[in-house]
Structure 1
Amino acid sequence: MDTSKHDFGGLFAQLGLPNDVPAMKAFVAAHSLPPGVALSEADFWQPFQSSFLAEELAEDGDWAEVIDELALLLSK
């Protein structure tokens, strides 16, 4: 059972990224999602990160809502 907190900090931890607020803000500032590119297909992810994102979205998993929010942030 996944007992992780389903917020940005938890998502970044699941992705193996630093999950403190300054690090998450820096990540969002440093990366952008080109129009028409799915978040899981962005070139800045490692393969395991892409797989996690794609699987969660495909299954409408526990993380899907937070992943969608991250995609919106990176699309701006």
Structure 2
Amino acid sequence: MRAARRRTARYGRFLKMQYLFHGDLDALFFNPALEALLPDLAARRRLLLVEEDLRDIGSSIPNACEFMLNRDLRGCPS
């Protein structure tokens, strides 16, 4: 049972990293110039799927400030 919890916790950390990665890219999926080049661009968006996975395992949606080494870059509280 503890091994399963550890795996879920590790998967949760992976999902949080994926959420932040996809969150940084999310605006690109609404860029008209990119949409003209890649007509199925909106279908490739994964942010909401990662968010759903986080909820499924009972994990919170991360805040970028939690994971930054230099929090001053985004105006995060110290």
**TM-score between both structures, scaled by the size of structure 1:** 0.28
Q: Which has the larger radius of gyration?
A: 2
Give 1 or 2: higher helix fraction. 2
Q: Which has the higher contact order (CA 8 A, sep 6+)?
A: 1
What TM-score comes out, normalization by structure 2 length?
0.28
